[in-house]
């Protein structure tokens, strides 16, 4: 029976289980577009290589926490693959944005304009819309930075980005799904023009301030900009908090829309690709905190398509064969490794020479205790008498790289799950702070309230 390397969704799942062979295969599938995006942003090779390394190191840390919960129907394997690749590209874009202040050189407006002009996928947009969208996505700019560089008023830029996103998503749906009337897609027909002003009866318009935009009813439109990762961290948290205050159906709809927009961006800019040097994968693997080789299910999955030249395609097929051989050779090791179950992290922490057990932290009348090992780079939490919460709420665990900095969601948990199981995660040395918050039962992309537990992850 003919077999193929698993698709990105399966490879990501295996990478989340410490499978570095699957992670290497995932890197080979996705790195042309990731590296292409970052070379567009960073003309200097050293900067592009460093940003790519940082993006994949971040991907390794976040892989165990990825979930499809906030997305549209993923019964189809190809749909799951597209969502995973879009998520990886969003990590790369955010990494590039944070890396910009330290870079030797950053691509400016002329560079973004040249890229936008050669992408046929952007043809449905006006030149101004294509340049604005490219400056935000490939240029890694916030709306404030892009408005200044493009010499455009901030409200005008917001409107331009919103219109570009909706127009290009309709084009994407038409091209990918073959829909004859993509404008009727339920994710795009939701109100996007804001509410009417109570004083003048006019449709609310964007202002210079996100809080003011939210106040006049432009939350849906700001959620669109948030999908482009166009807002700074504080603005993004404010918009996510607004989403969480909506009713369950609306919040779910907005998150599905967010995911659709990011898949559209991945498709629209897929031709901005370049293969990184072969040595870069070794450099990335050398920086991973754990070096476990595993094996996934080898079954037929359609490869995620990145537009590239025939030489690049032959190299990718060759790499798939090599990685497949490594996966098959590793099957016995993987069987032992993957069947150790949920006790693996706990036993690793408990058996480490530098195990740290925190003092129990209060959760109302209950408590949570942290157990972690910096040497092994893993941790777990145990709970007692977890407070009950409303049926439409859920606990969510977060990791901060630094207080107030970049945040990653570990997962969501019911009160019963926390009492009966453990919260386990790896990459503890990359984070300084752990939060537990109470969120809507759909979960949140960022903490929307204050922490019920705040636990430092440093001695």
For residue range 371-394, list pLDDT tens digits in order. 988 887 888 899 988 888 888 888
Among the ranges given (151-155, 173-177, 201-205), the one the predictor scored with the smallest mean pLDDT: 201-205
Q: Tell me the average pLDDT across 438-446.
A: 79
Q: State whether the Cα torsion 279-283-285-286 is positive or negative.
A: positive
Q: What is the pLDDT of residue 68?
A: 73
The residue ranges of DSSP E strands in 137-263, in sequence order, are none
Residue scoring higher pLDDT (318 or 58): 58
Most confidently modeled range among 227-236, 298-307, 319-328: 227-236
pLDDT category at 331 given cuts 50, 70, 90 is very low
pLDDT of 342 strictly over 60: no
Angstrom distance (rounded) from CA 97 to CA 55: 11
Q: Are 8 and 302 in contact (CB under 8 A)?
A: no
Q: What is the pLDDT of residue 275?
A: 92
Domain boundaries, the chain: 8-268, 346-456
Angstrom distance (rounded) from CA 258 to CA 69: 13
Q: What is the pLDDT of residue 343?
A: 55
Angstrom distance (rounded) from CA 57 to CA 295: 20
Among the ranges given (47-61, 112-126, 144-158, 190-204), the one the predictor scored with the smallest mean pLDDT: 190-204
Structure tokens at 281: 């994968």
Q: Tell me the average pLDDT across 417-425.
A: 82
Among the ranges given (24-38, 176-190, 323-337), the one the predictor scored with the smallest mean pLDDT: 323-337
pTM above threshold 0.95:
no
What is the total residue count of the chain? 459
Q: State whether the Cα torsion 48-51-57-62 is positive or negative.
A: negative
pLDDT, averaged across the chain:
81
Most confidently modeled range among 32-41, 168-177, 236-245: 32-41
Task: Please write the tens of the pLDDT for every residue from 182-222.
Answer: 555 555 655 433 443 334 444 578 999 999 999 999 999 99
Q: Are 311 and 275 in contact (CB under 8 A)?
A: no
Q: Tell me the average pLDDT across 130-143.
A: 96
Q: What is the pLDDT of residue 2?
A: 47
């Amino acid at each position: 029976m003919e077999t193929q390397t698993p698709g990105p969704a399966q490879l990501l799942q295996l990478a989340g289980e410490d499978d570095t062979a699957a992670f290497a295969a995932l890197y080979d599938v996705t790195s042309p577009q990731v590296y292409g995006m970052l070379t567009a942003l960073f003309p200097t090779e050293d900067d592009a290589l460093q940003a790519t390394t940082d993006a994949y190191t971040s991907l390794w840390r976040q892989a165990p926490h990825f979930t499809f919960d906030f997305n549209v129907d993923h019964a189809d394997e190809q749909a799951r693959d597209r969502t995973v690749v879009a998520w990886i590209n969003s990590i790369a874009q955010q990494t590039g944005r944070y890396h910009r202040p330290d870079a030797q050189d950053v691509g400016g407006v002329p560079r973004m304009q040249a890229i936008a002009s050669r992408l046929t996928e952007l043809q449905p947009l006006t030149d101004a819309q294509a340049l604005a969208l490219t400056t935000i996505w490939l240029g890694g700019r916030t709306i404030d930075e892009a408005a200044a560089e493009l010499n455009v008023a901030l409200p005008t830029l917001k409107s331009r980005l919103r219109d570009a996103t909706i127009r290009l998503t309709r084009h994407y749906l038409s091209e990918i799904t073959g829909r004859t009337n993509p404008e009727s897609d339920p994710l795009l027909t939701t109100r996007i023009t804001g509410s009417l002003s109570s004083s003048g009866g006019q449709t609310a318009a964007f202002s210079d301030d996100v809080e003011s935009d939210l106040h006049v009813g432009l939350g849906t439109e700001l959620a669109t900009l948030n999908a482009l990762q166009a807002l700074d961290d504080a603005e993004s948290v404010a918009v996510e908090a607004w989403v969480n205050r909506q009713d369950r159906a609306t919040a779910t709809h907005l998150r599905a829309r967010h995911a659709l927009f990011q898949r559209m961006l991945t498709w629209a800019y897929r031709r901005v690709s370049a293969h990184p040097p072969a040595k870069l994968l070794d450099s990335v693997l050398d920086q991973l905190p754990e070096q476990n080789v595993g094996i996934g299910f080898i079954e037929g999955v359609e490869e995620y398509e990145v537009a590239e030249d025939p030489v690049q395609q032959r190299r990718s097929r060759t790499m798939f064969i090599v990685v497949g051989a490594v996966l098959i050779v590793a099957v016995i090791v993987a069987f032992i490794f993957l069947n150790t179950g949920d006790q693996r992290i706990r036993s690793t922490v408990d058996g480490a020479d530098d195990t740290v057990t925190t003092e129990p932290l209060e959760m109302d009348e209950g408590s949570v205790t942290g157990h972690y090992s910096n040497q092994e780079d893993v941790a777990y939490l145990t709970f007692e008498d977890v407070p009950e919460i409303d049926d439409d709420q859920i606990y969510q665990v977060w990791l901060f790289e630094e207080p107030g900095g970049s945040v990653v969601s570990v997962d969501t948990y019911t009160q019963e799950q926390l009492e009966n199981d453990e919260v386990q995660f790896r990459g503890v040395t990359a984070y300084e702070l752990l939060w537990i918050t109470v969120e809507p039962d759909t979960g949140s992309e960022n903490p929307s309230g204050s922490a019920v537990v705040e636990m430092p992850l440093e001695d």
